[in-house]
Amino acid sequence: MSENLNLSKEIYSRFGTIKRARKCFLYTAKGVRLTDMYQEGGRAILGWGGSVFTVLKNVLERGITGSYFTDFSSPCGRERSQLDRAVSALFGDERRAVAFPCKQAALEAAISLSAESTSVWKPWNGANVDPRSIDCIVFAPALPWTNDFFLLAVKAEVAEQSLNDFEKQSFLSAPICAAVTRSIYDLIKALQEREEKHWFIYDQIISKYWERRGPYLFPKVPESKYADFVLHCLECNLVISPEYNQPSIVPFGADKGNFSLLKNKPFDF
């Protein structure tokens, strides 16, 4: 969290506040458009804005923002919610979805349900493992929202008797739950459309600084110089991951021109 806060302060000190965010771009008060390669650690991998916030707005307008169960968030282990159906479609088998306030809590719950078959998943990670073979899958939804939370997708037969224990801590309000659900369907569509040809086009420019695995960029810059590299990229209108062990992400929808400042002003390491 401190790294993110420092990144926010560095952006603000150079460019002022963020006035608008669309696709992979951040538009600042000083009129500078920043290319976002951090993407909230992957939560904005589908871009900023889009259909998820239309859904959020529509559910907010219904006024169902309380702590009761709705079509979007039904009781754990009972009637299937729309979120359950979405994670089932994502992983290709029948699952129940549970939300947790942090990754550690989600992992602890997953291990308590199936210690031998728990995994953390992220899209386009290159792992050649069929998710249908895994009982419990922990993942961050592709929803660019301030609050961090993680989803646990549990095989229905594993969840049947156990998920009620997590009911209180797993509740999401209807508008957020609806937006998360929409983000999963958007991710399913993106998984069918985005592929290697959309990412390798930048390799000639970025390969000096990152090793690319799918859309994820792992730094070649030494960790001792990485903070300076983050600031150098900001001077080149690029926002990269402030955490050395958190990969940056190829900005889908950008073009090579967005890297021209970095190309013309290389970082020495």
Break the chain into its structural domains and give their ranges.
Answer: 2-36+195-264, 51-193
Q: What confidence tens digit (pLDDT) does each residue in 223-236 have?
A: 999 999 999 999 99
Q: What is the number of helices (H) and of strands (E) in the chain?
A: 9, 11
* pLDDT band at residue 69 under the 50/70/90 scheme: confident
Q: What confidence tens digit (pLDDT) does each residue in 110-134 have?
A: 999 999 999 999 999 877 788 999 9
Same fold, 2-36+195-264 and 51-193: no
- CA distances, 214 to each of 22, 47, 163, 191, 202 (Å): 22, 17, 34, 12, 12
Token representation of residue 7 = 């990144």
pLDDT at position 40: 93
Asked if the model's pLDDT at residue 212 lies above 70, the reply is: yes
Q: Report the distance separating Cα 110 and Cα 202, nearest Å.
A: 37
Closest-CA residue to 100 (of 56, 137, 63):
137
Residue type, 6: N
pTM here is 0.90
Domain with residues 2-36+195-264, CATH architecture: Alpha-Beta Complex (3.90)
Asked if the model's pLDDT at residue 187 lies above 90, the reply is: yes
Residue partners of 112: CB distance under 8 A and separation at least 6 = none
CB of 179 within 8 A of CB of 186? no
How many CA atoms, within 13 angstroms, populate the side-chain half-sphere of residue 91?
Answer: 31
Domain with residues 51-193, CATH architecture: 3-Layer(aba) Sandwich (3.40)
pLDDT at position 172: 81
Token representation of residue 213 = 């695995």
CB of 74 within 8 A of CB of 80? yes
